[in-house]
Every structure is written in structure tokens, then in C-alpha cells.
A = this chain, B = another copy of it.
Amino acid sequence: MRAEIISVGTELLLGQITDTNAPFLARLLASYGVDVRFKQTVGDNLERVRASVALALERADLVVTTGGLGPTEDDLTVEAVALAAGLPLVFDQGTADAIRRLFESRRRQAPESIFRQARIPQGATVIPNRRGTAPGLMVPVGDRTIFTFPGVPWELEGLVADGLEPWLAARAGGEVIRSRVLRIAGLGESVVEERVRDLLHGTNPTVAPLAKRGEVHLRITAKGAPGAVEPMLASLEAALRERLGDAVFGTDDQSLHEVTARLLIERRLTLAVAESCTAGLVASRLTEVPGSSAFLLVGYVAYSNEAKVRDLGVAPALIAAHGAVSAEVASAMAEGARVRAGADLGLSVTGIAGPTGGTPVKPVGLVYLGYSDAGGTRTEELRFGTEPGRDGVRHLAAQAAVNLLRVRLLRS
């Protein structure tokens, strides 16, 4: 099967935004073995969008468009698709009702213009949008098929999962390509590569390392008959896990904080968090997981020294002797939060995110983590340097703190 991707939007042709939808779609199509031969980008102009769709219909079996589905007059994709396909536009009552319900649930009046989004080419199938108003469409044109999606990535991704992926899966006869990502925290990319070097050179399945902020991913990819690929993935995964131990925290879309939150929920343990430089990042990540109120009792963003003393019971003399960024204060913060909240576990972060505020002895990027349970406290010193920037140091520190908690849970 040949596919073509069309991104619609004058802002793309002006270079005002970078197109991330097309690479997302391209990767998805490639994973189903679909051959993408061309990608077009076209501005918000009816005749030009029509010409692009018509050209794509000439040379591809599957045409996927993103963008130009909004409620405004420069959103022309549906009209252009209908023209290119030679289909009249019809009003879809179901879509109009869904839009009206969405606005009602928000206690807002739906403006008349929004109902432009309820016009569809005759014969098209509507893919309801869980995340917005513009639906996706599947438009059959002879033996060709056009999918249209909005340009908002969050909405596009939901619609692709609901509409395009099942369609692709149904057509991916014979060989399939499947991949799985092993996610690793607490080890750098070069250490990971050292440990698994001899496994990196296979041809099927293959392993490809990728460094992410605060983690390393190993992508395993296998190609073969539907029944054969899973065992291939599983066997290579087992070999990699043997080398990497509990540094592998999860697979695919599992995030470190999700895995850690699940551990806390399963073990029915409660947690209090005390953060200085990360200022709520640890608490906000752990609570991304539904049900997190079962374990998170409280978080303290103890940004000032006064807050560390008043809310966490850190001794002023300790801060005076060692400084707020020290193993001693990290330990006292974790212990203080745990005891004050009556939690089973305490977790703390204190550090220098920068860009200013470092000294030769305590440079920007220096971070201390603290962990406390009934058995005592542990601390960890990290040095990220200036290179990740303020935002990078904060995110790396939050990731490391959650990983410390995870590893302590696994080993206790």
C-alpha cells in the first residue's frame, strides 16, 4: 500500500510552526509497512488544497491530511477533499449534536460558525473527536481512501488511534512489524550500550538505543508472521533485562512516575514529598496517575529557607552549617515531610537549577535527593552541570528523585 501525507496550513508554509504531525503519521504508517512516497504541505487555499489532494489520489492508495478542519473560514480541507473526490458536502446531524453537547457540558453557547465542522463529504464515515470539536473523516474514493484529521496534535493522536490505526491493522496482511521500547533510568546511554553491546548487531529482531532526557530507550523491532513476532520480541527483551536489572523501569508508553505510582498503590504505602529546586515537579508528575490520592498525602514546595524550617522542621543550624543544598538538608527535608504528614515514606529534592546562584564548591546543576522511611534515610548526590539549562536540571532532578523512590520500593 502506498500512502501520501498532506499537511494543510499557511502557518507551515511561512515556517511559523514546525510540522510534527507529518513525522508522527509517517512513523505510524511505516510501522504498518505502508510506503509513504510523498508528503505535501499546502496553504489554506481551497483550489490549492484541492489540487494537492487530487495529485495524491493519483499516486497513492491512502491519503492522510492534517489541518484545516477548524471552525473558521480559512479551514477548507473538508471542502477541498469533497471537490477532489467529486463528492457533495452534506450536513451530519450526529456531529452537530456532538458539538452541541460538548458546548453544553462546558456551559457555553455553541457559536453558529462551529457547525461548519458538521459538513462532511457524502459517504464519509465520521470518526468522533474525544478531544475537541472537529471530527476526523474517512472518505472512500473508488479504491482509494482519504483520512482527514485536525492539526491539533493532541486531537490528531486520539483520532488516529480511534480511526486510522484499526483501519491499518485490518489491512496489514501477512508480515507485520512490531516494536517494543524498554525504558531505563539511572544509567547513562554509554553504560547501557556497554552492557548490551553484543546484542546491538542483530538483524531481526534489532535493538536501537536512544537517549532521552533522564532516561535511555532501547527499541526492539521484529518483523515476521503475526504469531512469530511476539516471541521474538519477548526473547530479546528477556536477554536485555538480564543485563540491565531493575534499571529497566518499564516498556513502551509507561512513564517512570506511572510505574512508581503503581508500586505505591499496590503496596498501600503513603508518601510525603518535599521539593526545593523542582518546586512541585515531583508531586505533579506522581499525581498524573489516576488514583494517586491513595498515596500522596502532601507535597511541600519549600522554596524559601523559612518554609524548610516552618513546614518541614529542618533545624536552622543545619541549614547554616551545610547550606540549603546539602545531603544533610535533603535528608532532614525527607524525614521532616514524612513525620509531619504521618506518611510511610518521604522524598526530597534540593539543588541549584541555575542559571545563576552556583559557587565553585556548589555549582549550578548540583542536586541532593533524600529518601526516608521508618528504617532511616538515604541521600544521593547528582551533578548535572550547567549544560542542561535551568529547565533541564529541574526535570532531570525530578526524574532522578522518582527513580530513587522506585528503586527503594523495589529493594525494600
Contacts and interface: CB of A to CB of B under 8 A. Distances in A.
Interface stretch (A165-173, A207-215, A224-232, A315-323): A207-215
A86 to B, nearest CB: 22
Contacts of A42: 37-39
Contacts of A384: 106
A52 B39 contact: no
A387 B105 contact: yes
A328 interface: no
Interface centre among A37, A39, A41, A131 (most CB of B within 10 A): A41
A377 interface: no
A339 interface: no
Interface string A99-140: 000100111101101100000000000000011100000000
B10 A208 contact: yes
Q: Secondary structure of the A side of the interface?
A: mixed
Given A105-B387, A213-B154, A37 B13 contact: yes
Contact of A279 (B299, B383, B389): B299
Contacts of A43: 36-38
A204 interface: no
B297 A280 contact: no
A190 B299 contact: no
A57 B279 CA distance: 49
A392 B43 CA distance: 29
Interface string A181-197: 00000001110011000
Contact of A193 (B17, B24, B72, B310): B72
Contacts of A45: 37
Contact of A12 (B39, B52, B301): B39
Given A219-B11, A283-B280, A307 B341 contact: yes
A385 B310 CA distance: 38
A39 B13 CA distance: 7
A390 B293 CA distance: 13
A189 B106 CA distance: 14
A14 interface: yes
Contacts of A154: 213, 392
Nearest to A395: B284
B290 A390 contact: yes
Nearest to A282: B280
Given A13-B37, A193-B72, A279-B280, A307 B298 contact: yes
A273 interface: yes
A355 B290 contact: yes
Interface string A17-29: 1111011111110
B179 A16 contact: yes
A19 B19 contact: yes
A304 interface: yes
B290 A298 contact: no
A119 to B, nearest CB: 17
A97 interface: no
Contacts of A16: 23, 27, 179, 219
A388 interface: yes
Nearest to A38: B42
What are the 10 closest A-B residue pairs judged by CB atoms, nearest first?
A280-B280, A299-B301, A15-B26, A15-B27, A39-B41, A15-B23, A280-B283, A280-B284, A298-B307, A279-B287
13 contacts: A14-B221, A15-B22, A19-B19, A37-B42, A38-B43, A71-B189, A73-B200, A105-B383, A111-B190, A154-B392, A280-B284, A293-B304, A299-B300
Interface of A: 10-20, 22-28, 30, 36-43, 45, 48, 52, 55, 70-74, 102, 105-108, 110-111, 113-114, 130-132, 152, 154, 177, 179, 188-190, 193-194, 200, 208-211, 213, 219, 221, 273, 275, 278-284, 286-288, 290, 292-293, 296-304, 306-307, 310-311, 340-342, 354-356, 383-392, 394
